[in-house]
Structure formats: C-alpha cells, structure tokens
Chains A and B, each alone.
Chain A
Amino acid sequence: MKVKILVTLKTGVLDPQGKAIQQTLNGMGFNNLKEVRQGKYFDIEINENNESKAKSIAEDMCKKLLANLVIEDFKII
C-alpha cells in the first residue's frame, strides 16, 4: 500500500527558506500571510497490505532516516 509522509520543522526551529518564500509572497501582493514553513513530502509504496503494519514500517523509516528528530516532526497520512 501507499504511505504518504510529511516531514516538517518543529515549532521554534528557524526556517530561512520558509521566510524567504514568505517575503517573496509578500512582495507579490499576498499581504495577509502570517507565516510560511517549508517541509518535505514522501510518497512511499510498501509491499504490505495491512494498513497498521505499513504505517508502523513508515514510522520506523521516519525515525531512522527520513526525519531528523532534533529539528523535525513527521506525520504519516
């Protein structure tokens, strides 16, 4: 089955790319922005039909490689 994973910076961790994007959007006329944070998205197909098993494999992958838990959180969707 397919697993979708979002990796985002933890609250409070500086996100210079997000900030640059926000400033650009502001410059383009999007003036009602509060904050932009940039993250990563992974689309992973796992050879596993059981949803909870697949999600637990995905969680293991996040903890071991896909996210750096010092600065990032992950969400399996």
Chain B
Amino acid sequence: MKSSVIIFPGSNCDRDMDVALTKFGFKNKMVWHNESGLPKSDLIVLPGGFSYGDYLRCGSIASKSRIIKYVVEFANSGGLVLGICNGFQILTETGLLPGVLQQNKYLNFICKNVYIKINDKKNKYFKNIKKGVLELHIAHNEGNYFCSKDELKLIKDNNQIAVKYCDKDGNENDESNPNGALENIAGIFNINKNILGMMPHPERMIDKYLSGDDGSIFFQNLIGNLK
C-alpha cells in the first residue's frame, strides 16, 4: 500500500505521520505543497501543524496550495484522504468536508490525551476495528467543530460523524468535550466516507512505552482494510 504525506510550510506532524505509516506497512512518500501532481497513492494524508502560521484562518492559506487541486481530484475520484488536526482544518477550508473548526470554547490551547468513540464503522477507516473507544492525543487551539443546523442534520442523516469525544467508558458528555465542539464531534467524513478529518492524532499513539498504543490499532486496521 502506498501513501503520501503532504508537507506545507508550518506542518509539524508530517514526520511523525511518516514514521507511523511506515511502521504499519505503508510505502510512504513526502510531497511538498508546491508540487504539480501526486505520486501514485492509496492514501493521502494532510498532517497536523500550523500551516502558514495559521494566518487568516487555520488551514485557509494551505487550502489554496498548488497540490490541493490534485488532492481534490484524487478525493473526488474516490481516493482515501485523511486529514489530522491542521489537516482537518485544511479539508474544511477546501470544502471537501462540511463545517469549520473554530477557536476552542475556553480560548486555551489544549494538549492532552482524550477518549474518542467510533461513531460509524461502515467505512475503510474503522471497519473491523474491535475497540469502540480509543485513547488518542489532541493538541490544538482551533478544534471546536461547528456547522449550521441544516448542515448538522445532513451530516447526521448520512452518518458522517466519524468520531466523538467521550469519557473512557464511551459516555459523551460536556465534561469529555475538550473544546466545545458541536455534539462532541472530533472527526467527520464526507458523504462517500473516503475523506476523514479528525482533530486527535493517531500518529502520536503508536508506541506503548512512550505514549499509548491506540493509534497502532487505527493504522493496523486501516492498512488491513486496504489490502
């Protein structure tokens, strides 16, 4: 399986993502944002970070990069596109995913482990995953998911909510919502579920001695589903 990680000026989780993808069997390539075309890939990843210093709005400048045209083409032809954190923000700014990520409700940068509940398993990312609640890491200032009421209805009707913040037993409540996200939304799909954007970082949870192992579950499952 081949993957590509796009690097924008200010990306800082690109190498972690490369390590994670490689560890679980992807042949990964790093692609600079100014390239005119993508290498042949089964998965494109937009990594976390602070592309263009978060100027204007997080992800807004990166969403106009030259490479994005090719990412949109790839996504529209059914290719898998995964956006983590700033990658999620870039996906909403390109319009590939609905809604926006606003500043956290209490104005603080949040850097901690959270639990997320997998809300939908009928997709390539979470199909066959046994664990329903994963412990992953978040580190963001703008992760407060928001969309209009009409959009939210559409998202729910189409089962586009991918993951939700919860406590370790899987209960969704205000206490387990770190940033004020609408309905505890931590990640969403596009309507065809080939595009996934989420705030938590699975690539930071691939070593049980250093961090935790639930990111490993995510990547192992993903590559298994693609084979």
Contacts and interface: CB of A to CB of B under 8 A. Distances in A.
A20 B105 CA distance: 11
Contacts of B144: 14
B56 A16 contact: no
Nearest to B59: A68
B72 to A, nearest CB: 14
A16 B148 CA distance: 18
B113 interface: no
Interface residues of A, number: 10
A3 interface: no
Interface in A48-77: 65-66, 68, 70-71
B104 A68 contact: no
A77 B136 CA distance: 46
Nearest to B60: A65
Contacts of A70: 92, 98-100, 146-148, 151
Contacts, number: 36
B32 interface: no
Contact of A65 (B64, B146, B151): B64
A17 interface: yes
Contacts of B56: 65-66
Contacts of B60: 65, 68
Nearest to A66: B56
Nearest to B107: A16
A68 B105 CA distance: 19
B57 interface: yes
Given A68-B57, A71-B146, A17 B103 contact: yes
Contact of A17 (B57, B99, B107): B107
A13 B102 CA distance: 10
A68 B100 CA distance: 8
Contact of B146 (A14, A17, A66): A14
Contact of A14 (B57, B105, B147): B105
B14 interface: no
B105 to A, nearest CB: 6
Contacts of B148: 70
Contacts of A20: 107
Contacts of A66: 56
A57 B12 CA distance: 35
A70 B93 CA distance: 10
28 contacts: A13-B102, A13-B146, A14-B144, A14-B146, A14-B180, A16-B102, A16-B104, A16-B105, A16-B106, A16-B107, A16-B180, A17-B103, A17-B107, A20-B107, A65-B56, A65-B60, A65-B64, A66-B56, A68-B57, A68-B93, A68-B100, A70-B92, A70-B100, A70-B146, A70-B147, A70-B148, A71-B100, A71-B102
Interface of B: 56-57, 60, 64, 92-93, 98-100, 102-107, 144, 146-148, 151, 180
